[in-house]
């Protein structure tokens, strides 16, 4: 097996299309010393490195001196003990630690040339993940030929940068997602359905944004059902730079009114946010779509890396929209800035917000949602917030007219 085709730890082509599961653990993984070992096996060298959760990784060799290098994003090696973990004459020295933000490295100095025969990360036999690497003796010439870090943009050894704006587009593209539709009407009250009201609001917002030079894509422009993953997929396929999902809620008990803006969080801001996230995330189950089966811990780890940069951009967008809604005298919820684990906000590479325009369970909110003047204030607030964000966001500002 040739090293350069075998040593990369992840199949990266699936980064933009793999279903995403929100992670509930910290990004950094922990080295599990008691179940890890580096040892000779006949003339080969075997590495078994147990970590608390899967992370992106790679392995390669370097010359002068002969070294085996393992990079992780990111592993805490504070429990690593060479005296306990290394039982090999093939390894003459070892260094571990955090060497750049977001990256850890293990370097093994080798006594003689060796090549990577197999390398793989397994999550099926242990808690967390086990990285297994087998090396065999090789010639100096072969070692020289295969040495060097394999080129791969995902493993640039620096903190991940914000997602690049697609070069073929010269204007900001906003994906607007009217919630629900088709056989899923969403919240209902007073003879109104959330699906129809959100489509009406989305069309208004589209017209308003296009008037100021922003391109707009509607995930649906008719009363039709779309799975949650399809909505995000439509935005990504079009190269959208923003994703704005529009919803309204209805409380079975109690009272609430006003608009609120949500961003992604695995921990909901309050019980109402949690229940709303659960309700919206059930939409695909109604349609018989299984969202969970294709999740993969390794793709989740990669998504986490990208979200480190996307999430602050989403938070900034939400803050701008809330301020702009307030300036436009739109009716705001008593807590207008909230967080919840909405499936439509899990796109790792697109800043995303969910705007609750109001509560159908509140009579005054129903009037505001149907009233053209009140709805225009809300639409103008969202538009102004997007404009303010786009002019201050480093990536998006390049797409805005001077």
**Which of residues 164 and 332 earns the better pLDDT score?**
332
pLDDT of residue 163: 35
Per-residue pLDDT at 33 exceeds 50: yes
Residue with the larger pLDDT of the pair 389 and 347: 389
* C-alpha to C-alpha distance for 292 and 335, rounded to whole angstroms: 31
**DSSP output for 231-289:** HHHHHHHTT-SEEEEEEEE--SSS---SEEEEEE-SS-SSHHHHHHHHHHHTHHHHTT-
> What is the reported pLDDT for 276?
46
- What structural domains does the chain harbor? 3-155 (2.60.40.3500), 173-399 (3.40.630.40)
The model's confidence at residue 358, banded by pLDDT at 50, 70 and 90, is very high
Whole-number Å distance between alpha carbons of 222 and 180? 11
Q: How far is CA 55 from the centre of its chain?
A: 14
Question: DSSP readout, 142-198?
Answer: HHHHH-SPPP-GGG-SSPPPPPPPPTT--S-EEEEEE--BTTB--SEETTEEHHHHH
Can you tell me the mean pLDDT for 266-285? 47
Please choose, from the candidates 337, 158, 176, 339, the residue with its C-alpha nearest in 3D space to the C-alpha of residue 259.
337
The more confidently predicted of residues 196 and 189 is 196
Asked whether 261 and 354 are in contact (CB, 8 A), the reply is yes
2-16, 214-228, 258-272, 289-303, range with greatest mean pLDDT = 214-228
**For the chain, percent of residues with pLDDT exceeding 70:** 73
Question: What tokens were used for 166?
Answer: 């697609």
Cis peptide before 65, with omega less than 30 degrees from 0?
yes
- pLDDT, position 191: 83
Q: Which of 152-166, 211-225, 261-275 has the highest mean pLDDT?
A: 211-225
pLDDT digits (tens, 9 = 90+) for 39-66: 999 999 999 999 988 887 888 999 999 9
Calpha distance 274→339 (Å, rounded): 9
| 150-185 pLDDT tens trace | 665 444 444 434 333 333 446 899 999 999 888 788
Give the pLDDT mean for 90-101: 86
With a cut of 90, say whether residue 111 has pLDDT above it.
yes
Confidence of residue 266 (pLDDT cuts 50, 70, 90): low
Q: Is the pLDDT of residue 283 over 50?
A: no
- Residue 261 has phi, psi (to 5 degrees) of -120, 125
Rounded mean pLDDT, 287-293: 36
Please tell me the distance from the alpha carbon of residue 179 to that of residue 224, in angstroms, as a whole number.
10
pTM: 0.55
Q: Does 295 have pLDDT greater than 60?
A: no
**pLDDT (mean) for 235-264:** 88
The reported pLDDT for the residue numbered 402 is 53
Close Cβ partners of 309 (under 8 Å, ≥ 6 residues apart): 160, 161, 162, 163
- Please report which confidence band the pLDDT of residue 280 belongs to, taking 50, 70 and 90 as the band edges: very low
Q: Name the band, by pLDDT with cuts 50, 70 and 90, for residue 16.
A: very low
Torsion over CA: 222, 344, 312, 267 (sign): positive
């Amino acid at each position: 097996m040739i090293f350069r085709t075998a040593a990369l730890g992840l199949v990266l082509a699936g980064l933009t299309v793999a279903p995403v599961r929100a992670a509930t653990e910290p990004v950094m993984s922990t080295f599990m010393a008691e179940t890890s070992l580096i040892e000779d096996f006949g003339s080969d060298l075997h590495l078994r490195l147990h970590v608390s959760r899967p992370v992106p990784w790679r392995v390669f060799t370097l010359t002068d001196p002969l070294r085996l290098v393992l990079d992780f994003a990111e592993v805490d090696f504070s429990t690593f003990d060479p005296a306990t973990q290394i039982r090999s004459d093939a390894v003459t020295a070892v260094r571990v630690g955090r060497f750049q933000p977001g990256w850890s490295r293990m370097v093994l100095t080798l006594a003689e040339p060796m090549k990577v025969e197999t390398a793989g990360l397994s999550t099926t036999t242990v808690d967390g993940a086990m990285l297994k690497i087998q090396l065999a003796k090789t010639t100096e010439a072969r070692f020289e030929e295969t040495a060097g870090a394999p080129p791969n943009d995902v493993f640039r050894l620096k903190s991940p940068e914000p997602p690049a704006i697609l070069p073929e587009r010269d204007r900001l593209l906003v994906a607007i997602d009217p919630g629900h539709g088709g056989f899923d009407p969403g919240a209902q009250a007073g003879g109104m359905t959330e699906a129809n009201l959100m489509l009406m609001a989305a069309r208004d917002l589209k017209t308003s944004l296009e008037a100021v030079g922003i391109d707009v894509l509607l995930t649906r422009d008719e009363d039709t059902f779309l799975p949650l993953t399809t909505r995000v997929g439509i935005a990504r396929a079009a190269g959208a730079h923003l994703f704005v999902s529009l919803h309204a809620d209805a409380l079975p008990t109690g009272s609430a009114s006003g608009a609120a803006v949500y961003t992604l969080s695995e921990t909901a801001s309050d019980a109402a946010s949690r229940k709303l996230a659960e309700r919206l995330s059930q939409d695909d189950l109604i349609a018989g779509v299984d969202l969970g089966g294709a999740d993969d811990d390794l793709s989740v780890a990669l998504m986490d890396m990208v979200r480190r940069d996307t999430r602050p951009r989403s938070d900034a967008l939400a803050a701008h929209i809330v301020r702009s809604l307030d300036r436009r005298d739109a009716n705001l919820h008593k807590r207008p800035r909230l967080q919840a684990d909405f499936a439509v906000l899990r796109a790792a590479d697109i800043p995303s917000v969910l705007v609750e325009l109001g509560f159908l369970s509140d009579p005054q909110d129903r009037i505001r949602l149907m009233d053209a003047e009140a709805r225009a204030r809300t639409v103008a607030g969202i538009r102004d917030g997007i404009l303010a964000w786009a002019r201050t966001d480093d990536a998006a500002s390049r797409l805005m007219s001077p």
